[in-house]
Structure 1
Amino acid sequence: MRFAVAPPYDNGAPADPRFMTELAETADRLGFDSLYLSEHIVVVSDYERLHHYTPDGDIGLPDDTPFPDPLAVLGHVAACTERLRLATSVLILPEHHPVQLAKRLATMDVLSGGRLRIGVGVGWMREEMAALGVDYASRGRRTDEAIRVLRALWSSDPSDFAGEFFAFRGARCFPKPVQPGGVPIHVGGHSEAAARRAGRLGDGFHPLGVDLALLPELTGVVRHHATLAGRDPDAIEVTLTVSLTATDPSFVRRATVAGVDRLVLSCRSLRLPQIRAEMERIAIEHGL
């Protein structure tokens, strides 16, 4: 089992350079696999409560909670670490133009020495997408196509693409990512649609808000659709987010049996000394 960490958004930590430096350096020193950041470009007041990961559909944070650009923060993390991988959970892919995003991600991968991994999702906040001029109803198709655009620009030169939303001929995008095959793309979500997308297009599956007992059903969908697409289902990693303080050896064993490769430990509502102590405990318990 590999372990990653995600900072608490409810205390503004991702926008605090001192906090992020200390968290990243601690994770790097203790042997954690990666550090994860989330994304909301804007949070619109009085949004429709469609958040799938809380009982009332509310994001559970004040509207003025800082959500800094995750890629910018990960650049900061890269500069103060040596081996820690940099990840998102998740980047809301339909809110980005994939041609521009391909350049940003490839540049980050080069400058970090091949340490970038992106988790992507379709998003859920209608009002956020409306503010960006993105059609909510087509976000799934747009996400599928964006993944294909990223892979095309990273893998061939020049690149041609013709799709429903994006098209180009003879596009040359340099630098290419350091990692063979490009930056790994993990598909986040809780639905069967997300699981199907991970099987068809993803290097990994990052189910969000899914109980461990229900995970095998979704990973079965991932494996089935990977096989249908002629891909190796065993090569698709499974990442699960859980509370930092709720992670004990028994849970880790059950997660391993359920097919989880990586646990992202959420630090919600915790201060840095508590986070550091819990991370040290986990590093000792699991021999990181």
Structure 2
Amino acid sequence: MRLGATLVHLTPAPPFPIAAWARRLVDAGFESLWTPQLIGRGSLVPDPFVTLAAAATATDGVELGTATVQVPLHHPADLAHRVLSLASVAGDRLTLGVSPGSTQADYAALDRDHATRFATFHRDVARLRTLLADGRDEHAELAPAPATVPPLLLGSWGANVERAAREFDGWLASGYRRSPDQIVDALARFRAAGGGRAVVCAVPVTDDLGHVLARYADAGFDDAVVLFAPGDPEPERVRALLP
């Protein structure tokens, strides 16, 4: 199992230099760098596209991913333009984790309808796929057809675990909101449905992190992404927990 790390804090904390942190994580041996999209929750979690662009220019070789972009918060053409722009910086290192979102505050901040987020997500992802693959559709001409399209991983729960297996390039499980028991059980459903890549993301750095990571590895996850908070152990110590 590969080990990645988040580039931002989810708890209130002073701003810190993303580029330097990205280099520190890569030097410590983390194999992927991820960031979520959160807005309107009282503390600044930097925009994922700005964050990953900074990390892309500061590192080489390491995977860069969104975990996740809340698709219904964007117009699909604007989102496609932002993804294509980031891909022009990150190249084939970019992985796009997408989700319907779950927290009402994010929707209220942008005056979006929280109740219809699942229907909006499925409709807009269909258009997003076309725009990313072709650079255009019948309503917008954004760019020439790109040479590569970022993999799309679905971050969601419930019946969407099977949907991730059938319709996406992989699944992002939230280690922040669910217990290891729930996550391992859902992984079995994902595999039974024919799912490919499985990533458990936002795994908090706790005293039993080594045990938790070993459990996810034994269950068959392809990647785990740890979530650093202010005051957590140094990246080198955390990386050493997974040989």
For normalisation by structure 1, the TM-score amounts to 0.73
Deviations along 1:101-159, one digit per CA (max 9) or x if unpaired, are 11111221122121111222222232431342322221001111222112111223653
Alignment partner for residue 197 of structure 1, among 155, 160, 163? 163
The 4+ residue runs of structure 1 with deviation greater than 6 A are none
Q: Does 1:148 align with 2:117?
A: no
CA gap 1:72/1:235 in 2 versus in 1, 3 angstroms: same
CA gap 1:152/1:27 in 2 versus in 1, 3 angstroms: same
2:183 maps to what in 1? 215
Residue 92 of structure 1 deviates from its aligned partner by: 1.5
CA gap 1:222/1:172 in 2 versus in 1, 3 angstroms: farther
Alignment partner for residue 226 of structure 2, among 245, 265, 270? 265
Deviations along 1:248-269, one digit per CA (max 9) or x if unpaired, are 2x44332122121111111123
Alignment partner for residue 247 of structure 1, among 191, 209, 225? 209
2:9 maps to what in 1? 8
Letter of the 1:155 counterpart? A
CA gap 1:40/1:21 in 2 versus in 1, 3 angstroms: same
CA separation in 2, counterparts of 1:279 and 1:252? 11
Superposed counterparts of 1:7-156, under 5 Å: 7-12=8-13, 15-17=15-17, 20-43=18-41, 63=42, 65-156=43-134
CA gap 1:148/1:134 in 2 versus in 1, 3 angstroms: same
Aligned positions, number: 239
CA gap 1:131/1:253 in 2 versus in 1, 3 angstroms: closer
1:281 maps to what in 2? 240
Q: Does 1:172 align with 2:129?
A: no
Is the 8 Å Cα contact of residues 197 and 222 (structure 2) preserved in structure 1?
A: no
1:183 maps to what in 2? 150
Letter of the 2:37 counterpart? E
CA separation in 2, counterparts of 1:247 and 1:240? 13
Runs of 5+ unmatched residues, structure 1: 44-62, 161-167, 227-232
Deviations along 1:191-226, one digit per CA (max 9) or x if unpaired, are 3133133124321211212222223432344345x5
CA separation in 2, counterparts of 1:158 and 1:81? 30
Is the 8 Å Cα contact of residues 28 and 236 (structure 2) preserved in structure 1?
A: no
1:230 maps to what in 2? none
CA gap 1:99/1:157 in 2 versus in 1, 3 angstroms: closer
1:229 maps to what in 2? none
Is the 8 Å Cα contact of residues 204 and 239 (structure 1) preserved in structure 2?
A: no
Letter of the 2:218 counterpart? V
CA separation in 1, counterparts of 2:179 and 2:131? 36
Runs of 5+ unmatched residues, structure 2: none
CA gap 1:253/1:67 in 2 versus in 1, 3 angstroms: closer
CA gap 1:263/1:130 in 2 versus in 1, 3 angstroms: same
CA separation in 2, counterparts of 1:183 and 1:5? 19
